[in-house]
Amino acid sequence: MTSTTFHLRPAVPLGQDAAIIGLVGLAHAASHFGHLLLPLMFPVFITEFGLSYSQLGLLMTTFFVVSGLGQASAGFVVDKVGARPMLFLALTLFVLACGLASLVTGYSALFGVAALAGLANATFHPVDFTILNQRVSTPRLGHAFSAHGLTGNLGWAAAPVFFATLSALSNWRTAYLAAALMYVGILALLFFHRDKLLTQAVVHHPDTPAEHSMAFMKLPVVWWCFSFFLLSTMTLAVVQSFSVSILKAMHGISFESATLTLTAYMLCGAFGMFVGGFVAAKSNHSDRVVALSMATASVLLALCGTGIFGATLTMAVLAATGFAVGIGGPSRDMMIKKATPKGATGRVYGLVYSGLDTGFAISPIIFGAFMDRGWYGATLMGGALSLLLSVIAALGVGRRTV
């Protein structure tokens, strides 16, 4: 069992909290935009380099293995040196990854892009939540978590439009160069407002045993949180990496319409997180909110996998799945906060959110093989099953948190 004592901070002006939430949200959107640097170009890479879905899935596995290992380690660094330096380093690495992507000539170079972008992605969650938990007043944390999740989904939603538009106007290499310039702009903006991103490092006393910093890993609730992220993210990876191809194969939907459906899923998820922020602020049972939203989404995704809907209804239901998942987003973050021991924010969020990266790493290997065999409906059904298993994990977190 774990317990968390919430220390109410003095009231601060709304404008100050809003500025911090906005800056962190922009950083989170940049992180999620980076998740799709490679998947959105899968059709291009198949044509240009003759790659299979399994080979492309391995690129995403590389991205998320590097990100997951880096994220678990980054939490300790964030606690030690503060969040701001790690945030600036991450954005710089994304600039380099986009620049390299514009120059690739084959499969091996794409692995370099995947690894570099994965390393860039590694620091964002421990950085973001350390800043929010330290700098935002407690009564507004539920809304801060809502905005954080919402902006992440907007980053996902913006990426397909960004790359599709610039690729059509010029070519895919130019699109990657434009993405690099975008990251430079974000880095410059955050550096200009760097005073709002300053956090305190965790002070370790000389007489404190070295193993004390690892004590949180002995808490079962931390691993239940990890399992929740692993399972729920496997489903998200299915939608992000393969939904466009599945919609084309099962229902003959055009590439443009299928891509817009993925954008609609992300936008509905963002709206769901906006609504979920109010739910999280009022609910004392975060785990139950998460479980209900994920169970609903699982049913909707399974229905899409059966193929009983026509093209238009399938696109609509898939978008609605994003809304259902989004509702649980802020409550999910509150659930993790309640399970986090005082003074271990960076470490816990780093480890727990590495479950997200683990799910993203595993899913493309499993479901890429499904796709190569033409098991399109089974791919969606497998994603639905994974999401249903995450419900058990969420309730497990709730039973172990008081």
Per-residue pLDDT 10s for the chain (402 aa) are: 444 433 444 467 788 889 999 999 999 999 999 988 998 888 889 889 988 877 887 888 888 889 888 877 777 788 788 889 999 999 999 999 999 999 999 999 999 999 999 999 988 888 988 899 888 887 788 788 888 888 987 898 889 889 988 988 989 999 999 999 999 999 999 999 989 998 876 655 445 454 455 666 677 778 888 888 899 989 988 998 888 889 988 988 887 788 888 888 988 988 898 888 888 877 778 889 999 999 999 999 999 999 899 888 999 999 999 999 999 888 887 887 776 666 666 677 777 777 887 888 888 888 888 988 899 999 999 999 999 999 998 888 777 665
Domain boundaries, the chain: 15-201+214-399
300 closest CA partner among 271, 321, 329: 321
Cβ 72 vs Cβ 155: under 8 Å: no
Residues 6+ apart with CB under 8 A from 54: 365, 368, 369, 372
Give the pLDDT confidence score for residue 214 in this predicted structure. Answer: 65
298 closest CA partner among 263, 335, 328, 264: 328
- Rounded distance, CA 61 to CA 115, Å? 10
Give the pLDDT confidence score for residue 166 in this predicted structure. Answer: 92
15-201+214-399: which CATH topology?
Answer: Growth Hormone; Chain: A; (1.20.1250)
Hey, how many other C-beta atoms are within 10 angstroms of the C-beta on 217? 14
Cβ 376 vs Cβ 246: under 8 Å: yes
Return the residue matching tokens 């109010």: 278
- Rounded distance, CA 177 to CA 159, Å? 14
Q: How many CA atoms lie within 13 A of 232 on its CB side?
A: 31
